Amino acid sequence: MRRIVGPAMGVLLLSSVTVTAQDRDQTLADIRQELSVLYVELQSLKREQSTTGAPQISLPPNALDRLNTLEQELSRLTAKTEQLEFRIDRIVRDGTNRIGDLEFRLVELEGGDLSQLGETTTLGGEDVPRPAPPVPGPGPETPQLAVAEQADFDAAQALLDNGDAAGAAEAFAAYTQTYPGSPLVAEAHYLRGQAEAAQGQWSRAARAYLESFSGSPDGPRAPEALYRLGLSLAELGQRDEACITLREVSVRFPGGAPSIGANTARGELACP
């Protein structure tokens, strides 16, 4: 039986995992740079050692000690690099599993078919298929694809603007499946959430807002998506999780309209 966690805790984990992975990447880059420096110095010492017979070169008295020390340090840093890579992989796996738990919980809230739940996308988007880069040239296919992508988004937006919430929700869902690598995906998920909320489909709205935020946690729609996720959880009766999510809005995005709205909503929910 899969362990189920709340959507709000998943959001908090997602943000912490993202920061942790970035910190690990920075540390890994520093270590690799240090390894390169040590390697160059090691090779330099070896060249000095191999030319000790030349009259113009004087080998420092502690050269062999330095050489041994550098070799030991090189081995230590190599081992540390491997350990950090293992830890990063473990963090990504854990974060991906938690996102999968969120999806599982939302399907349960929707009363959907759990057997239709697909594989969770790897945290960081490594498994998300990306479109091939456009090939320069006069061929007509590249501009046609770009026009079609924008046209599909505009058509879904028009449905929402004209009050066809159900049609807009379907159109935005189709858009995110057709163009998973589009820069408009986070916006499409958010607008799908708006369309679902307009119909009172709060479980589906929560899923859409979560996908918008988790797909682009630092994007322009992230504050509003996280705020709307908190409101949707409140509508679903998930008060504790709603309070945690709304508090996270103020922590991550202080001072903006979503933060002000989140504070107001927390007061109405009597959040601790």
Answer whether residue 135 shows pLDDT above 70: no
The one-letter code for the residue type at 143 is: P
Higher pLDDT, residue 264 or 143 = 264
Q: Convert the pLDDT of each residue in 162-201 to its tens digit.
A: 999 999 999 999 999 999 888 999 999 999 999 999 999 9
What percent of the chain lies above the pLDDT cut of 90? 41
- pLDDT higher at 25 or 267: 267
> What pLDDT does residue 100 have?
65
Of 113 and 76, the structure prediction assigns the larger pLDDT to 76
* Band (133; pLDDT cuts 50, 70, 90): very low
Per-residue confidence (pLDDT) for residue 41, from 0 to 100:
67
Q: What value does the mean pLDDT take over residues 16-28? A: 50
**Which CATH topology does 147-268 take?**
1.25.40
Residue 58, pLDDT > 70, answer: no
Interatomic CA distance for residues 24 and 124, integer angstroms: 14
Cβ-in-10-Å burial (0-12, 13-18, 19+) of 190 comes to buried
Residue 54: pLDDT band with limits 50, 70, 90 = very low
- The per-residue pLDDT for 81 is 77
pLDDT bucket at 116, cuts 50 / 70 / 90: low
Q: Mind spelling out the 3-state secondary structure of the chain?
A: CCCCCCHHHHHHHHHHHHHHHHHHHHHHHHHHHHHHHHHHHHHHHHHHHHCCCCCCCCCCCCHHHHHHHHHHHHHHHHHHHHHHHHHHHHHHHHHHHHHHHHHHHHHHHHCCCHHHCCCCCCCCCCCCCCCCCCCCCCCCHHHHHHHHHHHHHHHHHHHHHCCCHHHHHHHHHHHHHHCCCCCCHHHHHHHHHHHHHHCCCHHHHHHHHHHHHHHCCCCCCHHHHHHHHHHHHHHCCCHHHHHHHHHHHHHHCCCCHHHHHHHHHHHHCCCC
Q: Report whether 183 contacts 131 (CB < 8 A).
A: no
Cβ atoms of 258 and 226 closer than 8 Å: yes
Average pLDDT over residues 150-159: 94
Name the nearest CA neighbour of 232 among 221, 246, 220.
246
CA–CA distance, 31 with 134 (Å, rounded to integer)? 36
pLDDT at 129 over 60: no
Taking all residues of the chain, what is their mean pLDDT, rounded to a whole number?
75
Looking at residue 84, its pLDDT comes to 75
Average of per-residue pLDDT across 103-113: 64
Q: Is the pLDDT of residue 16 over 70?
A: no
In contact, 232 and 205? CB cutoff 8 Å: yes
- Spatial distance between the Cα atoms of 231 and 226, rounded to a whole number of angstroms: 9
- The tens digit of pLDDT for each residue in 223-269 reads 999 999 999 999 999 999 999 999 999 999 998 999 999 999 999 99
Using CB atoms within 10 Å of the CB of residue 43, give its burial: 0 to 12 exposed, 13 to 18 middle, 19+ buried. exposed
Looking at residue 120, its pLDDT comes to 57
Most confident among 6-10, 37-41, 166-170, 183-187 (mean pLDDT): 166-170
